[in-house]
Chains A and B, each alone.
Chain A
Amino acid sequence: MSGEEKVVLHGMWASPYAKRVEIALKLKGIPYEYVEEDLLNGKSEALLKHNPVHQKVPVLVHNGKPVIESCIILEYIDETWKSSGHALFPQEDTYRRARVRFWADFIQRQLLEKFIVTITAVGEAREEAIKELRKNMELLEEGLRVNFFPEGIPQYHFDDQKNVRFLDITMCAFFGLHKAQSEFVRTTEIIDLQRTPLVFSWVESLKEVPVVKEVLPPHDEVVNLLRGFRQNAVGSSPQV
């Protein structure tokens, strides 16, 4: 890697997608410049130039070339900085790579996006989303056990940062804040210790990894942010 490398990350303090990229860059020890974007009040010209299609964060700009979408950025980081830090993806086993990609997509579409519906929807749509979120977390429990941790997660497993990889990052960048998120789902915990013990211990141990701890936003700020979103959703609807 030459001394001319320039890496800029356009992110936002509460964006789990941006957090994924930050965690990956830090784990691999890649120096970068961070640009905080104010998504509501004025996106930077650089952001609009580098991501004209979606105008969203994160955008990783590597030597002037933009890469967009957090999971795509993580693959790009792993493929570009092969000798920095440790590999984020399985290297030789293509079947395992496929399993990792499948579950990353599951976490994104069946968990993260469902949670967002529980915040932004009202009435029946919200109740349905809460039910699906719970069901999907149980599917993740099974998937995790069958594919990645058949013997459970060894104690101190994530004390070795080399064990924090793509799927771990994809999950903990958002659900590392599950306690804050659970305050908005009323009768249920997002990640229930009794029903999904493996997912619970997975996320709880990942939260303690120094790089993750450093990057995740504080609990109270997330609660305030979610409260704001929830009030917007409820405020504009007769149903709750």
Chain B
Amino acid sequence: MAEQVKVLGSWGSPFSKRVELALKLKCVNYECIEQDLANKSQLLLDYNPVHKKIPVLIHNGKPIVESLVILEYIDETWRHNSIFPHDPYEKAMARFWAKFIDEKCNEGVWKIMWCKEEERGKLVEEVLQHFGTLEGQLKDKKFFGGEEIGMVDIAANFIGYWLGLVQEAIGMELVTRDKFPVLCRWMDEFVGHSVVKPILPPRDELLAIFKARFNATAWEY
């Protein structure tokens, strides 16, 4: 049976792009079906009835949801070009850092984007600490995965590309070259990677959306 791989995603979503990146790294052909999140399709509601969110990977008609779960599925199903370490301990570490990125870094930035002014200082202090912890994992490695992109790099994609645009849109610098030189060096490597670069959403369009969203909520500094 010819393999059928579809991704229900959204052009600007980092979670969607995680899935696409993993599939591209594994040279798996897929069809991307763009979803309108303001007007969810029946397809999305059928394949992700619990959360009704993207991304959804549909493999030969069977849906897999939640981006980190999808990454594990992709690595276990198409075993070449591993994105996870083979050693169980290193694999556990990769899983830990992917979760840390989502729960502490990404979630931290999200809270800052939408918080009240009086809460901002403390939230910024916390998230900067988390970025410092994450940066400590890089040391002198090119990527979190070593010489090549791995699961943790894919999980950190929001930091790699979207974060810079969010910072520009809200007029706030969280990760700067002088404070986080190693992380910024990683960001350059990440967005310049031959598989990552072509699938990144267009900068200007994404920035325009962020700016419009934040102007609408009258964010003030």
Contact = CB atoms under 8 A, between A and B. Distances in A.
Contacts of B69: 98, 101-102, 105
Nearest to B93: A67
A69 interface: yes
B41 interface: no
Q: Could you say which of B73, B77, B88 has the most chain A C-beta atoms within 10 Å of its C-beta?
A: B88
A219 interface: no
Contacts of A102: 64-66, 69
Interface string A65-80: 1011100110110011
Q: Could you say which of B50, B92, B133 has the most chain A C-beta atoms within 10 Å of its C-beta?
A: B92
Contacts of A106: 50
Interface string A100-127: 0110011000000000000000000000
B99 interface: yes
A72 B66 contact: no
How many of chain B's residues touch chain A, expressed as a range?
20 to 34
B89 A76 contact: yes
A79 B50 contact: no
B5 to A, nearest CB: 13
Chain B facing A: main interface SS: helix
A106 B70 CA distance: 15
A94 interface: yes
Contacts of B99: 69, 72
Interface in A55-98: 62, 65, 67-69, 72-73, 75-76, 79-80, 94-95, 97-98
A1 interface: no
Contact of A105 (B66, B95, B100): B66
21 contacts: A62-B89, A67-B89, A69-B96, A69-B99, A72-B92, A72-B95, A72-B99, A75-B91, A75-B95, A79-B88, A80-B88, A95-B59, A98-B64, A98-B69, A98-B70, A98-B72, A98-B73, A101-B66, A102-B69, A105-B69, A106-B50
Given A75-B91, A80-B89, 19 more contacts: A65-B89, A67-B89, A69-B95, A69-B99, A72-B92, A72-B96, A75-B92, A76-B92, A80-B88, A94-B77, A97-B73, A98-B64, A98-B69, A101-B69, A102-B69, A105-B66, A105-B69, A106-B50, A139-B50
A143 interface: yes
Contact of B88 (A76, A94, A105, A143): A76
Nearest to B92: A76
B6 to A, nearest CB: 15
A67 B64 contact: no
A72 B98 CA distance: 11
A116 B138 CA distance: 34
A53 interface: yes
A19 to B, nearest CB: 19
Interface in B113-149: 133
A79 B91 contact: yes
Contacts of B72: 97-98, 101
B23 to A, nearest CB: 15
A80 B59 CA distance: 29
A94 B59 CA distance: 11
Q: Could you say which of A68, A75, A94, A101 has the most chain B C-beta atoms within 10 Å of its C-beta?
A: A94
Contacts of A75: 91-92, 95
B174 to A, nearest CB: 19
Q: Could you say which of A68, A79, A98, A102 has the most chain B C-beta atoms within 10 Å of its C-beta?
A: A98
A68 B66 CA distance: 21
A60 B76 CA distance: 25
B62 interface: yes
B2 to A, nearest CB: 18
A65 B92 CA distance: 11
